[in-house]
Structure 1
Amino acid sequence: MGLGLGLGLGWSQLALAAGAADALRAFVQDAKAGRAGFTQTVHAPNGNRTKVSSGRFEFSRPNRFRFEYQKPYAQTIVSDGEKVWFHDPDLNQVTVRKLGDALGSTPAAILAGQSIERDFDLKDQPDQDGLSWVLATPKSKDGTIQSLRVGFKGRSLSAIEIADSFGQRSVLQFADLQILPSLPAATFHFAVPAGADVSGP
């Protein structure tokens, strides 16, 4: 899994020398934009795997991101920095939410946000499955996410594990992560498809 040529030297040195919590802080501070493939696996409270999906994501700080789910069903989630757009192409439905309501203490806050210390308490965890882990516990108790575990392999962000208040556990695994200086603003523009049913502010 490569990080691309846009990785700043300061972050690479810190991530190699320090724990996962410091690597995460540096990732949020120094990784201004990037893209990767992802696989998301959802486990039920009893531990059984219930759903596997995959796609691509892109981000640009602050607060802009695009998740393109490709399998097993297409879905797009786009933040333009002010609003988040959820598009289900099969139903041609679009749901719009204000960024603050949708971002909160979510994986997107880590991937595209810029205030991780404000939103999470961070604690290094023991290495597991070949990764260095940091536990990110939301300071706000209003959301459904109870905790996030963020895994690094060397200096590369590799996985995010999400535990929610319903007892579900979701694991996002990243592939071919590229850290870039920037991405075009048009990447994070969402055009509502013709005839779509739109709900939200």
Structure 2
Amino acid sequence: MRKLLSLIAASALLLVAQPASATPPEEALARFVDRVETLSADFEQIERDDRDEVLQSSRGHLWLQRPGRFRWEVTEPFSQLVVADGDTLWNYDPDLAQATRRPAREALSGTPAELLAEGTGIEERFEVRAADAAPVGEANAVVRLLPREDTSDFSAVTLHLREGVPVALIFDDRIGGRTEVRFSNIVLNEAIDAQKLRFEPPEGTEVVRLE
């Protein structure tokens, strides 16, 4: 569950095909915190093990509205849905006709999903460093975030940013695995249908409460 939450992606600008000049990590991160209110984007996610072998890949769409609301919808190779409405986090598996619900603050605490959905308080929860990795795609800054709490499932989160908005998110888990999420067709700060950020279990769905 926490692994899936970690994939919930970011905020971004419409990308333009022009050369990118380097941006200091602190400035890029400040832009990320300050300028993103809503976002929608397609995503592609690839998970690898500690031998760099692909475990699985998936595609879907993200809708994000700060603070604390998002919809992470996997469409390929199977359907799965995660919705945070500001209070409750829902994880819905249509194939199993099952939905789990839990308090959003508890479920998201310490995950990259919290970082992206809330935006504020990053330096309280993560140590911010410049990264020596080559920028992905149109990124012009790379920022590495190290969780301050040992309870996090992840040892590091790397943001590849363009004008302060992530175009890729890479995170390393504590057993040597790595997950990369790339974003495309990104739209920033346009209104999102409120229904996208709510969830009502379909009739016949088993609801499991984790509180």
Of the three residues 172, 186, 211, the one matched with 1:163 is: 172
Match of 2:91 in 1: 86
Q: Distance in 2 between matches of 1:140 and 1:182?
A: 35
Deviations 1:29-78 (A, max 9, x none): 22000100000000011111111101000100101110000001100000
Q: Runs of 4+ in structure 1 displaced over 4 angstroms?
A: none
Normalization by structure 1: what TM-score? 0.86
Q: Distance in 1 between matches of 2:78 and 2:100?
A: 17
Structure 1 SS opposite 2:32 = helix
Amino acid in the other structure paired with 1:117? E
**Preserved contact between residue 20 and residue 151 of structure 1 (Cα < 8 Å):** no
Residues 50 and 17 of structure 1: is their aligned pair in 2 closer, same or farther, counting only changes over 3 Å?
Answer: closer
Structure 1 SS opposite 2:115 = helix
Structure 1 SS opposite 2:131 = strand
**Preserved contact between residue 28 and residue 163 of structure 2 (Cα < 8 Å):** no
Deviations 1:114-139 (A, max 9, x none): 32222211111125045431001112
Tell me by how many angstroms 1:23 deviates: 1.2
Tell me by how many angstroms 1:110 deviates: 2.7
Tell me by how many angstroms 1:181 deviates: 4.4
Structure 2 matches for 1:96-135, cutoff 5 A?
Answer: 96-115=101-120, 116-130=122-136, 131=139, 132-135=141-144
Structure 2 matches for 1:148-187, cutoff 5 A?
Answer: 148-153=157-162, 155-187=164-196
Of the three residues 29, 46, 71, the one matched with 2:34 is: 29
Tell me by how many angstroms 1:105 deviates: 2.5
Structure 2 matches for 1:7-18, cutoff 5 A?
Answer: 18=23
Q: Aligned residue pairs: how many?
A: 191
Q: Distance in 2 between matches of 1:107 and 1:174?
A: 15
Tell me by how many angstroms 1:155 deviates: 5.0
**Preserved contact between residue 32 and residue 164 of structure 2 (Cα < 8 Å):** no
Identity of aligned residues (%): 28
Normalization by structure 2: what TM-score? 0.82
Deviations 1:150-193 (A, max 9, x none): 00245542101011123210001111111114423322110111
Using the TM superposition, name which of 125-134 and 22-31 deviates more: 125-134
Tell me by how many angstroms 1:16 deviates: 6.5
RMSD across aligned C-alpha pairs, in angstroms?
2.2
Match of 1:42 in 2: 47
Structure 2 SS opposite 1:126 = coil
Deviations 1:65-106 (A, max 9, x none): 100000011000000011110000000110112112221222
Q: Distance in 2 between matches of 1:153 and 1:21?
A: 13
Amino acid in the other structure paired with 1:196? T
1:138 equivalent to 2:147? Answer yes
Tell me by how many angstroms 1:140 deviates: 1.7
The gaps in structure 2 that reach 5 residues or longer are: 1-11, 15-19
**Preserved contact between residue 29 and residue 164 of structure 2 (Cα < 8 Å):** no
Residues 16 and 100 of structure 1: is their aligned pair in 2 closer, same or farther, counting only changes over 3 Å?
Answer: farther
